[in-house]
Amino acid sequence: MCAAFGARGSEPELIDGGPVWRCAETAIRPAPNPAEAAWVAQTLDALHVENLRLGRPLRSTDGRWVVGGWAATRYLSGRAEPRHDEVVAVSMRLHEATRPLPRPRFLDARRDVFAVADRCAWGEELVELDQDKGGRLFELVAALRRPVGLTQQVVHGDLFGNVLFAGNAPPALIDFAPFWRPAEWAAAVVVVDALAWGGADPGLARRWAHLPEWPQALVRALLFRLAVHAMHPRSTAQSLRGLEKATHQITELV
């Protein structure tokens, strides 16, 4: 597969447990949804964000974005670090740049756990959630949901852990998980993840309280993660404890 994207000269190396492989200066990752992978490639190829390194997509030797269920980008150095406020700032800069993008057509057909959980969080779909894996908390938090007037746009819905830092270099974005939601929601997902699993201090949520309708953005981000946890086959008791902690901190703020 490395040769298909013109990467030669070194043995493939699994990056941080996968599923991304490094071949020389090329990063190759699974692309189970070709339409989505092609959209991500075309979007990142044309996107410019101030003070952010982007994993630019690479075409195959015959000009395709996706080959045999795989896509490639340029390898970016760095690692995920607990610089949570900086990741939220990256989210806001990124989504200022993606605001003009039209809604991707493939989103309507998505039925993966994350897409269904997203619709559950916004009250657009009802799913019976496992009570012991987060469903009970979901019901409690859902009672805090109120109407919002935020503008929906293309956002990255999974930035936590996907923004890399390398010394004084600008942060790096290594992928794009597209959703059609408010930019404030995407920032709130970063905060929920950081509170639940990143060791963030409780003040993180308060430091971004100047964002429009922030309490409701946090509620929906928390509902999203709770629904994912309740439906995901690999969710664990430890990860649920993190969400319980985040729920306590966020409901106090709301």
pLDDT of amino acid 5:
82
CA angle 85, 88, 92 (to 5 degrees): 140
Mean pLDDT, rounded, for 119-145: 97
Mean pLDDT, rounded, for 106-127: 97
Asked whether the predicted pLDDT for residue 141 surpasses 80, the reply is: yes
Buried b / exposed e over 91-100, threshold 16 CB at 10 Å, is: beebbeebee
Q: What is the per-residue pLDDT across 9-54, written as a single tens digit (0 to 9) for each?
A: 667 788 865 688 888 889 999 999 999 999 999 999 999 999 999 9
Name the residue ranges covered by the structural domains of the chain. 3-74, 84-253
Homologous superfamily, domain 84-253? Aminoglycoside phosphotransferase (APH), C-terminal lobe (3.90.1200.10)
Q: Is the pTM of this model over 0.85?
A: yes
Residues 5, 189: Cα–Cα separation, whole Å: 33
